[in-house]
Amino acid sequence: MKRVTGNIRENEEADTAITHMIFFIAAVIIAVSVVAVLNTNVQSLTSSAYTNSNIMADQLRTDITIVNDPEIVPNNSNTYSFYVKNTGKTSIPIDYVDVFIDGLLVSPDDLNSRLQEEDGVWSPADLLILEISTSLSPGDHRILVAVENGKTDAINFETE
């Protein structure tokens, strides 16, 4: 009888060991799955933070200033001239400059953009000349100039 008891005890110990091994393998699989999910989320957050920091750094290096005298805006037969200076530390492509007058986008057909220095690049300290063909009623108006990364400048001006 002792032998039978020994075999039962050995079987119970083997069953317990197998059960523990199954639980251990399941725990390892679950832990690996959790790590994989967390790794994917961390990678996504890291990528987003990197992209946002690059955009923010670009915006911090970019700045523009409308240098017109708001009381004297050059006007020649309903063509208004505005002067915008690149006061930032980076060059700005002039192809992506948007102009709004009184909140309305100026059509590219009514806008002539040219650089004072004809080198094709709006470098820091360079002046961009915006000639806008539009008829404005006498009174107060607002012009807003926006560049590709969202930097803007605006002034209020008066027409007669």
Q: Residue with structure tokens 């020649």?
A: 76
Per mean pLDDT, which range of 36-45, 94-103, 106-115 is the poorest? 36-45
Q: Tokens for 128, please give them.
A: 């961009």
Please check whether residues 145 and 87 belong to one and the same domain.
yes
Q: What is the mean pLDDT of the chain?
A: 88
Please check whether residues 72 and 146 belong to one and the same domain.
yes
What does the pLDDT average to over 87-94?
Answer: 92
Instruction: Report the C-alpha gap between 75 and 111 in whole angstroms.
Output: 14
Question: Is residue 156 classed exposed, middle or buried when 0-12, 13-18 and 19+ CB atoms within 10 A define those classes?
Answer: exposed
The total number of structural domains in the chain stands at: 2
Cβ proximity of 43 and 132 under 8 Å = no
pTM of this structure: 0.69
Please check whether residues 150 and 105 belong to one and the same domain.
yes
Instruction: Report the C-alpha gap between 56 and 78 in whole angstroms.
Output: 38
Can you give the residue range of the structural domain that contains 70? 64-159
> For residue 59, what are the CA distances in angstroms to 10, 74, 107, 146, 150?
73, 30, 25, 12, 8
Instruction: Report the C-alpha gap between 30 and 23 in whole angstroms.
Output: 10
Please check whether residues 46 and 91 belong to one and the same domain.
no
Q: Which of 46, 61, 76 is a domain's end point?
A: 61
Q: What DSSP line would sit under 51-102, residue for residue?
A: HHHHHHHHHHH--EEE-SBTTB--BSSSEEEEEEEE-SSS-B-GGG-EEEET
Please check whether residues 69 and 45 belong to one and the same domain.
no
Nearest to 80 by CA among 143, 146, 145: 143
98-101 and 139-146: which strand pairing? antiparallel
Query: pLDDT digit string (tens) for 6-57?
Result: 566 777 787 888 889 999 999 999 999 999 989 988 888 888 888 888 888 8
pLDDT at 4 over 60: no
What does the pLDDT average to over 128-142?
Answer: 93
Please check whether residues 86 and 31 belong to one and the same domain.
no
Percent of the chain as helix, strand, coil, to the nearest 5: 40, 30, 30
Dihedral pair phi/psi, residue 55, rounded to 5°: -65, -45
